[in-house]
Structure 1
Amino acid sequence: MKVVFKDDHFAFELVRNLGFMYYGGSDLGEIVATGSKIKEGDFENWFDEWDKRARRTLSRADDSFSRGHLVSAREAYLRASTYFRMAEFYLHGNPDDPRIISESRASQKAYNKAADLTGPTWERVEIPYDNTTLPGYFYKVDNSGEPRPTIIFHGGFDSSLEELFYYGGAPANRRGFNCLTFDGPGQGAPMREQKLPFRYDWEKVVTPAVDYALSRSDVDGSNLVLIGMSLGGYLAARAAAFEHRFRACVFFDGVYDFHESLHKLLPADAIAAFEAGDSDRCQEIVEAAMPHSTPLRWAVTQGTWSLDVKTVADLLEITKAYTIKDVIKQIRSPCLVLEATGDIFFVGQPQRVFDELTAPKKFVAFTEEDGAENHCQSGALAFKDQVVFDWIDETLKS
């Protein structure tokens, strides 16, 4: 599905954030009006227009707040947070760009204001991790303190904490589940503020989140569910192979081998140069191709930034560890594997995950017929959530 843009990646990012309108994180008119002003594939123009939209929306939120219109203020703060995050999205080609921090903080600040206006059911938390903490939100159905089944939800290659409510927290709360969301290394504030890059052994990230959840009296520790989104489909599967306190796991979408996905994205002659040991030639080929492919340019700049490497060859080398090949049979929990048939990032990988799982499993493919073919079913959250949470409910009751 494409809206406004013809460019594959710009179109995907617009639909991704447009989909948040279902839970109040964006609005159709604001998204389309802003996107229509942006030149295809122009990262700086993308920043300029979304930054303007974010500040315009933030100003309206502040105005409503100052006049005591708290519902209007909360709703506008949520949308402003989304638009600041959109503005920052394509800036990572220069890791020293000060706008990475300023826009990220603006997004966090607006979201935090919305959270404060929501009340005690949106709780900011810090999860102890490796001599520091990871930022998170604990979304509660109510403030009764009743122990409830709890979703532990994390994102993937480019996610930030503030968007995870729309993918996980909102549908969970509507159905009677608590939801703990967090940013790990390579994501959100841990990458931007603490300079913590991705790590392949994600069980070292998820296990502290489980420990934190189990420390809470309002969590039913016998009914924990892990959900990983996008590259988080790999990260969650890796974690589930070692962390066995989950009753169920959802990989949306399934990711078997991150390194392999880069092979399909990069030019074939660049891969050949890498495999021949010619790192300089590999770099030259990719840099020559990047201006002609937004997905390639974004994947390389995002990858080198979030994994803290300098070159394309370094990126290819470090991602060799990001595979579940040798651990997938260690997963014990029932698993739901999702596939988006129009995915431009992990083509064919969900089926491979499903085929090699030995735990109880279910596979669901989302298609163009339902407007759900985009990566992670972006733009079709209602249908995705129906499928995911119906399966979770049935699995926990079985």
Structure 2
Amino acid sequence: MSFIDTPGLLPAFVAEVRARAHGAGLDLYEYDRVTAGLGALDEWPEAFGGVGRRYVAEAEGAAAEGRTVTAGAAYRCAARWFHAGCLMPHPDRAAAAWLAGEADEAMRRSLALLEPEARRVEGEGFAGWLRRPVVGGAAPVVLVVPGMDSSKEEFHALVEALLARGVAVLAMDGPGQGVLAATSAPEPDYHRVVGRALDALGAHEGLDLTRTAVIGLSLGGYYAAKAAAHEPRLCAAVTVSGPYRLDWEALVPFVTETLIQRCGSVEAARAFADRLDLTAPAPTITLPLLVVEGGEDRIPGVVNATVLAEHAPNAELLLVPHGNHLLGTALPDWLPATADWLATRLS
């Protein structure tokens, strides 16, 4: 039996994703209306994609009338909803690829209207948007790295918080993520991807690449920690709800099915999970490291990165007792402080 066919799972899944939807910027009243109309989990992608299409239509209508701000905001809402349609291991991978592509395109159209100075940055194994703050001089840069089933279209609030503090942001998809999920598998040596992204940023003006950092969320937290251990150009790193180690046998079906789909087979997924272990690199992470964790983040088979804070020599732990995975239940308790921490380390 596949994950989405589990009897009685729909209400629990809707409730579990609700905080994540809030963190991603979806209107929760609209989320409740959309999910209340679902008869089964396999309807999820089409329902969320339908909302995305409606926002695109609204954006196109507003743009045709010269209402640029409204159009740009509607395109951004569309990007969020298209992305949210991918937040489950649905067997129709073509539909998931379409949603990811629509999210990417909606964000492109939003930036073209609201931030025409934003630039596409892409290369081997990554694609993202470089956005600059409205300040003079060369800006430091933070790379925002998504997780297992996430993408660059999810973490709008984090990106906006960094931009407001004078930091440029490259929100990126890497192998097996977002718009690249249909053509690549997750990469445990993600530090190589971060290195190529930093190389690509050298072609863009207005950046101070002597001041760079990375923040990774969920599985992206592991990627950020690996980059912190191996990429000497980084000055600081943050992990948010990142894993320290995975135990394949204990992982819940949502995680295993998602990894199997994105890695291509059970064997590849298990091999990927077995390589996710920060025990060896943790003591070598000597740059400033902030580990953000929620006290309610408990996923079977996942050893949380609180352990990383104990073994990395220059690490700080920000533990929010009532925070869940990705801390969508506690945004005011970690996001402003984390953005301040990064801006300070890069000042």
**Normalised TM-score (structure 2):** 0.89
1:1-398 → structure 2 map (5 Å cutoff): 7-21=11-25, 26-39=26-39, 42-90=40-88, 92-95=90-93, 98-126=94-122, 128-129=123-124, 134-142=126-134, 146-164=137-155, 166-192=156-182, 195-258=183-246, 260=247, 262-266=248-252, 296=253, 298-309=254-265, 311=266, 314-345=268-299, 348-358=303-313, 360-368=314-322, 373-396=323-346
CA contact (8 A) 1:340 1:377 kept: yes
CA distance in 2: counterparts of 1:304 and 1:6, whole angstroms? 21
Question: Aligned with 2:181: secondary structure?
Answer: helix
CA distance in 1: counterparts of 2:242 and 2:28, whole angstroms? 29
C-alpha displacement at 1:10, in angstroms? 2.7
CA contact (8 A) 2:188 2:272 kept: no
Residue identity opposite 1:169 in structure 2? V
Question: Aligned with 1:108: secondary structure?
Answer: helix
CA distance in 2: counterparts of 1:240 and 1:163, whole angstroms? 23
Residue identity opposite 2:24 in structure 1? F
Question: Aligned with 1:162: secondary structure?
Answer: coil
Larger radius of gyration: 1
CA contact (8 A) 1:225 1:248 kept: yes
C-alpha displacement at 1:7, in angstroms? 4.3
| Unaligned runs of at least 5 residues, structure 2 | 1-8
CA contact (8 A) 1:43 1:91 kept: no
Question: Aligned with 1:161: secondary structure?
Answer: coil
Residue identity opposite 2:226 in structure 1? R
Question: Aligned with 2:230: secondary structure?
Answer: coil
Once superposed, which parts of structure 1, at least 4 consecutive aligned residues long, lie more than 6 Å away?
Answer: none
| Unaligned runs of at least 5 residues, structure 1 | 267-295
Question: Aligned with 1:163: secondary structure?
Answer: coil
C-alpha displacement at 1:167, in angstroms? 4.7
CA distance in 2: counterparts of 1:53 and 1:221, whole angstroms? 39
CA distance in 2: counterparts of 1:167 and 1:138, whole angstroms? 15
Residue identity opposite 2:59 in structure 1? A
C-alpha displacement at 1:112, in angstroms? 1.4
Q: CA RMSD in A?
A: 2.3
CA distance in 2: counterparts of 1:183 and 1:8, whole angstroms? 28
Matched positions, count: 338
CA distance in 1: counterparts of 2:28 and 2:118, whole angstroms? 25
* Percent of matched pairs sharing the same residue: 24
Residue identity opposite 1:299 in structure 2? V
C-alpha displacement at 1:379, in angstroms? 4.2
CA distance in 2: counterparts of 1:68 and 1:239, whole angstroms? 44
CA contact (8 A) 2:68 2:114 kept: no
**Normalised TM-score (structure 1):** 0.78
C-alpha displacement at 1:206, in angstroms? 0.9
CA contact (8 A) 1:136 1:181 kept: yes
CA distance in 2: counterparts of 1:169 and 1:91, whole angstroms? 26
Residue identity opposite 1:178 in structure 2? A
C-alpha displacement at 1:114, in angstroms? 0.7
C-alpha displacement at 1:103, in angstroms? 2.0
Match of 2:4 in 1: none
CA distance in 1: counterparts of 2:131 and 2:344, whole angstroms? 22
